[in-house]
Amino acid sequence: MKRRKISVSFKMNVFRNLLLITLPLIGLLSAYNIYSYYTFNAKFVESNQQSLALYARNMQIDLNTLDTFLTHLVINNDNFRLLNAPVSPLQAHLASHEIMIQLTAALNSYKAADAFFIYSTMNGTYRDIFAEGYSYEGKEAIRSLMRELAESRKNFYYGGWVTYEVQGKSYLFRLLGKDGTYAAVMVDFAHMYTLDLVHEGVEVVYATQDRVALTNRQFVVEQRLWTNDHYTVVGAPIANSEIQLIFAVPKPGVFKGGFAILFTLSLATVLLVLIRLVLLNRSVLMPWQRLVLRIGKGFGPQQLEDYRIEEFRQVDAAFTQMTNEIQQLKIEAYEQQIRRQKAELQHLQLQIRPHFYLNCLKSLYGMAQQQSFERMQMMILAISNHLRYNFKDNLQLVSFRQEMEHVQNYMHIQHIAHHIPPLCEWQVDPALLDFPLPPLSIQTFVENSVKYATKPQVQLQIRIKAVLLESDDGNYADITIQDNGSGFDPSILEELNCGDSTMYTDIHVGLSNLRHRLSMLYGDKAWLAFMNQEEGAAAEMILPIFPRQKEGDAE
């Protein structure tokens, strides 16, 4: 005997399937709320860690700049070296006076510096200069500390940045020197820019590596910061020092009542779904059931006007419209294929530089397929700027700022075109932004790194550093371009450093052209070298900085 199949109406089938979806929805939403809670917590901490890392890096740059200045003063300044040995009082006075002229200019130039000191115990010479805002008593207390440190005759060259407390307030010092002759700089935590730039409500604390607060101590004690659940505490150590920068960020309200709110909203959503099931039965299922019954009995098209649901009466029209749209899409697809073929012909005609421009055109082609018109516009404008700059006279000079903008435009093209775009970091002395140099002098090295140093599934990082070198025979711009690629092959490296090699001129045409232009513009004053670092390859270019001609000379 055959088992009779149980038939289920369309109405019951819809209800049953909707309920099978709705009932697990409570569990899924609850699990999602818990996951969202912990994910938000992690993202909140990560966001503040990134902000902290940015401020700590900027602070590190300021401290490194002061350290470099002080090191240059101690090592290269003839007057400071004179104070290392016993001299006459007049000589000591004149030498310290010359040093203080430089320190006065440095105090006005470096925002992070609050005081500079020069002390020589063997010559009994002591000089200092403070920024505005310090009382006489505060200055005397700091001077007393500096005298004690100088009289200790310790070697402070390798001590890094250290903190000392004066009148209940902590300061950051960097001392260089030994045997009683020292140069020092003081940084006041209260004047660090991070106190002004952090978000409202965030407390900044400078502390030792053991979390002993150096600033904002009252807040740390009152709030019991290290064990307070109402604050998220993130810290970043400052290199070459014994301190760390700490952010105390108030936790947002989601940590307190957010989960309950999300759970309530989830229950409200489920309730709305149930209400919608009832409305669905009234607005769709019951009219559908009546329509099926009437279709079974047979009726003319004019009887569809009795239904308030217009969609039932427009089924035929919808299918007709859909057929027309499909036909139109086929026509558009054919036209797009013709346009793509035309673009390929233009691609073959515009191959100026096969490696770079071919990749640009391929990227534009891919964007066209994806209909990413905004990205295409950005790409075209960037390539246009790139071409316009490339057509400059190679023997005319441009400012460092213009060359940097051109490289940034090139990197912008790479960001648009690549799934894993390369990164370019700049560290440029502001004094060199208007320095004139040959066009494409930096671009050539950057493009060479993108072409040869890119590894699969590894983000290429290019670091460009430009510093001002001062010497007796004039000033120079030292420009270094470094990447994180595999570096130069030893044989190729030897060939690159030999300017007249065949490989150099045949393969690295851009580098050969640049070396030739440097020779024409600067003669033997310019210097170009290639080397391998611990990670990747590096190229260093040193160009002379000629003084600007006077108007009479120019004429």
Average pLDDT over residues 220-230: 81
Q: What is the crossing angle of helices 258-280 and 10-76, to 10°?
A: 150
| pLDDT tens digits, 311-344 | 655 544 444 455 467 677 878 776 776 565 444 4
**pLDDT tier at 2, thresholds 50, 70, 90:** low
Two structure tokens written together for 49: 């860690």
C-alpha–C-alpha distance, residues 207 and 217, integer Å:
9
163: which residues sit within 8 A by CB, 6+ positions away?
A: 170, 171, 172, 173, 208, 214, 242, 243
Residue 256 in contact with residue 271, Cβ under 8 Å? no
C-alpha–C-alpha distance, residues 209 and 235, integer Å:
10
| pLDDT tens digits, 386-405 | 777 766 655 578 899 999 99
Where do the domains of the chain lie? 394-402+418-544
Residue 69 in contact with residue 111, Cβ under 8 Å? no
545: which residues sit within 8 A by CB, 6+ positions away?
A: 435, 468, 474, 475, 476, 477
Region of poorest pLDDT, from 16-30, 129-143, 242-256: 16-30
34: which residues sit within 8 A by CB, 6+ positions away?
A: 259
Output Rg (C-alpha) for the chain, integer angstroms.
36
Region of poorest pLDDT, from 78-92, 175-189, 250-264, 368-382: 250-264
For 231, the 3-state DSSP assignment is: strand
Average predicted confidence (pLDDT) for the chain: 77
The closest alpha carbon to 95, from 176, 154, 181, belongs to 181
Two structure tokens written together for 502: 């065949």
Residue 59 in contact with residue 192, Cβ under 8 Å? yes
The residue whose two tokens read 């300017």 is 499
Length of the chain: 555
Q: Check residues 549 and 109 and name the one with the higher pLDDT.
A: 109
**pLDDT tier at 348, thresholds 50, 70, 90:** very low
The closest alpha carbon to 440, from 407, 409, 467, belongs to 407
| pLDDT tens digits, 470-512 | 888 889 999 999 999 888 888 888 888 876 655 444 456 667 7
> Please, how many CA atoms are within 13 Å of residue 555, restricted to the half-sphere of its CB?
2
**pLDDT tier at 196, thresholds 50, 70, 90:** low
User: For the domain 394-402+418-544, what is the CATH superfamily, name and number?
Assistant: Histidine kinase-like ATPase, C-terminal domain (3.30.565.10)
DSSP 381: H
Region of poorest pLDDT, from 189-198, 418-427, 429-438: 189-198
| pLDDT tens digits, 114-128 | 999 999 888 888 999
485: which residues sit within 8 A by CB, 6+ positions away?
A: 449, 452, 453, 454, 455, 460, 536, 537
467: which residues sit within 8 A by CB, 6+ positions away?
A: 429, 432, 477, 478
The confidence score (pLDDT) of residue 308 equals 57
Beta bridge partners of residue 231, listed in sequence order = 250
Beta bridge partners of residue 236, listed in sequence order = 245
> Strands 125-130, 161-166: parallel, antiparallel or unpaired by DSSP?
unpaired
| % of residues, the chain, pLDDT over 70 | 72
Q: Check residues 225 and 163 and name the one with the higher pLDDT.
A: 163
The dihedral region occupied by 385, where left means phi > 0, alpha psi between -120 and 50, and beta the remainder, is alpha
